[in-house]
Every structure is written in structure tokens, then in C-alpha cells.
Amino acid sequence: MRLGRNALEWAYFTELMAKIASQAQDFPQWYQDVVDKADMAQHSKVKGCMIIRPYGYAIWENVQKELDRRIKEADVQNMYFPLFIPQSLLTKEKDHLEGFAPECAVVTHGGGKELGEPLIVRPTSETIMYDSFADWIHSYRDLPLKINQWCNVVRWEMRTRPFLRTTEFLWQEGHTAHATREEAAIEVDRALKMYEDFDRDFLALPVVTGTKSNKETFAGADYTRTTEALAKDGKVIQAGTSHLLGQTFAKTFGIKFQDEKGEMQFAWQTSWGLSTRIIGTLIVCHGDEKGLVLPPKVAPYHVVLIPIYKDEAGQKAVLAALETLKLNLKAAGIRVHFDARDTVTPGFKFNEWELKGVPLRIEVGPRDLEKQEAIVARRDTSEKMPMALSEIVGKIPALLEDIQSGMLARAQENLKAHMSEASTLEDLIKILDETGGFVKAPWGGSEEDEKKMQEKTKATIRVLCEEKAPAGSKCVLTGKDTDTLVLFARAY
């Protein structure tokens, strides 16, 4: 192998490249190191905004492609609305305005002149969309109206972290209008189930689903349903949400229709969304001490090919064999990258692609060629196995399926191990401090009590439980009698 630097330099550079903080000792720094060194994203010159690099964006493209397919299967059509929202539209709905006003970016000048009306940079699109809904919906025959848009939004965050919380992020937002509350509620549950299935089947992420407390409900909605994933550090992360907006916005924007009896009714509405936060979710839920561990279905590459040789004679034969293998894998629908760089060592490549979480690595050297085999390494288990070159193309699909299902099984075990119960505030805090995860506890407090609870525990109600608390249960904060159970957790 031809190297541009001596072996000592490359050994040092390889070590520097691969070095990331310990996940167990400093999880926040580990996360930042992985995002940086795996070429996922980098900070931009605009505070709180990120530049999504090609490897990170490729993950988003795979998320977008699969989720868009599922959205269209539900007869939802894609549209696009403007980035700028007239301030008068945002201020129409009081609760919605109060919920988003602190996060809004406002444009007051354009073309060198002060604008007659300030424009809000889109924090979410309900207001500008529903102004148009009022023009489109007149009869029950116009319902249901189901649209989605893929776009960027801006929310002025004070504390940011790439993917997990940024001032600008990418997402999809679905918006629907229906003739009855029952139809709208069915749509809320359909969207939530879509996210739950997508998380499990495509991202190997088991999630807790349920309804949010009043305090955590989307501004202007009747109720919010959510998917919550568990990170390796015991914190949880909201992965996707689905909201029953009721008739709040319909009454504000005049979205009315004539029903089959000829009477005028207000529409019932929903909205639901998933953002680039899901990439951060993948990192914190599946990553390990070496870096990313990507489920095959969402990984930019299923396989990376690494040649190993010492001289030009070995180089020629190995590169030719791997080029043929690459073409055959591509023909079989396998996403493959052939790392033929001759300026870095195989060890450097191993470290780099492990850090990037590629599910499978295939190594081939002259001795392997003599035996007509390759070494196949799994990222998820670190297992290495010899495999006949003639069998690789046929065996890789099943191996990828095994990795996908194995990652889901391990994530399910981790989630199960971090589901706890507490009947007192002291026990709840102890569990959160020692193991984290979800803690089921009786709750009978108000929204103000929720704020007090967060101050005392740094935890929030993630979902309301459907089951009732045992007779005689007392709220962990107020001590009041209650039959309500909730899941508390510390969250991103």
C-alpha cells in the first residue's frame, strides 16, 4: 500500500481520528464527537444552526423516502407553502401565538425598506395553511382534506445541539381536515401508528406511545399523542407527534362546510410531524463507544469494501476482485461503498467506518483471494466471519435482516429494563438518578404542579397511562388521592 506519510504519522492520525469521548463517562461530549467525526453535521456561522453534511443528509433522505411512501399510502398529498407568514395570521389564534411567540424569528425589513406588516419565519405552518383551507373547503364533498409538506422551520432555541435541538431544522408536517371529531381522532391515531411502525420496522426503535399531559400538549390543540424513544444515557426523546386540533383553528380561520343536511359546520382538524431530530434519536439510542451503529434499512451504505495489500501485485488482484464484488452487490440492490483510497491504512478505514456505523465491512487481501473468500465484520456485534466470495451476494441480504432484527431486539430489552415504578417522590428521584428511563407513578396535579415537579426532579410527564392507579394511590407530588398513572422521564 502506498502511503503519503510514514507509518508513525498515520498511527497517530488514526488514533486521533477515532478518538471520541467515552459514552459511559461523558455522554453529551460523546454525542458531539460522533456527530463531528462521523461527518454527520457541523456548526454553521449562524448560532444554533447546523450544516448537514452528505453522510448525515443521506440518512435523512432514506428517512424521507420511506416515510413519504407511508404518508402517500394514507392518501395524503404533498404540497408546499411559503416560508414567511404574515404576523396577522399567527396572531389570530391566542393559544397558538402564546406557544410560539418566544421562538419566532421576525422579518421587519425587505428590499431596503420597512415592511408594512412584519413577517414570521415559519415555526410551523398551521396558520398560513388554514387561511387557504378556508378558501378550499365549502362542502362535505371537499372532505377529508389531507396534505403534507416537507420543509424547514425556524424556532429560536437558546440551547442547541445538532439534530436534537436546533434553531432551524427539517421536517414533514401533515395537516388534515375532517367532517367529524371521530374521523379526526381516527386520523390522529393513524398517524401515530404510522410513526410507531416506522420507528420499529425501519429504524429498529421501540417507542412508548400515548397522550401528552395538558402542559405538554401542542399549542392550540385539544390533545397531543406522541412516540417516545429511550436513549442509552437513560433520557428519553420525543420522536414524533400527532395532534387533534379539534375546531380551534377552524373557528379562528373560518374553515366551514355545508354538511349533507345543508347545515354549516366547522371542520375538525389534525396535524402531525417528524423532524431531523430522528437522526439524533438514532445516534443516542443505537450508538456505542465506537460511534454510530446504524440499522441497515436507514444506513447510507449497507456494506463497505476494504482492500488489504502490501505491494502492487497484490493491489491489482485485490482491487479487481472487489470491483467485481461491488458491481454484483449493487445489482442485488445492496448499497455499497468501495473504499479504495491508497492514502490511509486499512486500520484507519476500519476505525472510520466503524465510527460511521456501516452495518457490514468486507475485507479482502491476497491470502483471502487465494482461498476465494473474504472476512465479513458486523458493526452491531463486532463478530467477524470468513465467507466464500461466491456466496457473499446471496448471503448479505439475510445478514442485513438479522442485524436489523437484532438491533430492535436489543433496543427492546433496554427499554424493558428501564421501565420502573414509584409511589413516592423520593423513590422516583432515586430511580431517575441511578438508572433513568421511564418511571410510572400516580399523578393528580395541575399544570402548575407539573412545573413544580420538573423543578424538583428535572423530569416531565411523557405520557398519560391508559391503566388506572390502584385504589388508594396518592399523587407523588401533592399527596392527593388519584386514579391516574403517568410515565415520568428526563428528556432531551
Residue 4 has pLDDT above 50, yes or no: no
CATH architecture of structural domain 303-399:
3-Layer(aba) Sandwich (3.40)
Q: Which of 416, 427, 439, 441 is nearest to 489 (CA)?
A: 439
Residues above pLDDT 70, as percent of the chain: 96
For residue 12, the model assigns a pLDDT of 45
pLDDT digits (tens, 9 = 90+) for 407-463: 999 999 999 999 999 999 999 999 999 999 999 999 999 999 999 999 999 999 999
Length of the chain: 492
Residue 5 has pLDDT above 90, yes or no: no
Residue 122 has pLDDT above 80, yes or no: yes
Q: How confident is the model at residue 103 (pLDDT cuts 50, 70, 90)?
A: confident
Residues above pLDDT 90, as percent of the chain: 90
> Bridge partners of 77?
147
For residue 10, the model assigns a pLDDT of 52
- The DSSP bridge pattern shows strands 208-211 and 373-378 to be unpaired
Residues 427, 474 contacting (CB under 8 angstroms): no
- Residues in Cβ contact with 7 at an 8 Å cutoff, skipping those fewer than 6 apart: 345
Residue 157 has pLDDT above 90, yes or no: no
pLDDT digits (tens, 9 = 90+) for 336-350: 999 999 999 999 999
For residue 7, the model assigns a pLDDT of 55
The SS3 assignment for 196 reads helix
Strand spans (E) along 247-319: 256-258, 264-266, 268-275, 303-307
For residue 2, the model assigns a pLDDT of 41
Which set of grid coordinates corresponds to residue 297?
A: 434499512
Mean pLDDT for the chain overall: 94
Kindly tell me the burial class for residue 384, based on how many C-beta atoms sit within 10 Å of its own C-beta (0-12, 13-18, 19 or more): exposed
Of the CA atoms within 13 Å of residue 16, those in its CB half-sphere come to: 6
Residue 326 has pLDDT above 50, yes or no: yes
Q: Specify the fold of 419-489.
A: Translation Initiation Factor IF3 (3.30.110)
For residue 349, the model assigns a pLDDT of 95
Q: How confident is the model at residue 91 (pLDDT cuts 50, 70, 90)?
A: confident
Q: At what angle do helices 181-203 and 277-286 cross, to 10 degrees?
A: 50
- The DSSP bridge pattern shows strands 113-121 and 105-110 to be antiparallel
The whole-angstrom separation of Cα 416 and Cα 431 is 14
- The DSSP bridge pattern shows strands 145-154 and 77-78 to be parallel
Q: Helices in 101-154 by DSSP H: which ranges?
A: 126-136
Q: Where are the domains of the chain?
A: 27-286, 303-399, 419-489
Domain 27-286, CATH class in plain words? alpha beta
- The DSSP bridge pattern shows strands 113-121 and 84-86 to be antiparallel
Q: How confident is the model at residue 97 (pLDDT cuts 50, 70, 90)?
A: low
Residue type, 254: G
- The DSSP bridge pattern shows strands 336-338 and 223-230 to be unpaired
Residue 43 has pLDDT above 70, yes or no: yes
Cα–Cα separations (whole angstroms), residue 307 to 10, 259, 364, 385, 405 = 17, 68, 5, 16, 29
DSSP notation for 357-390: T-SEEEEE-HHHHHTTEEEEEETTT--EEEEEHH
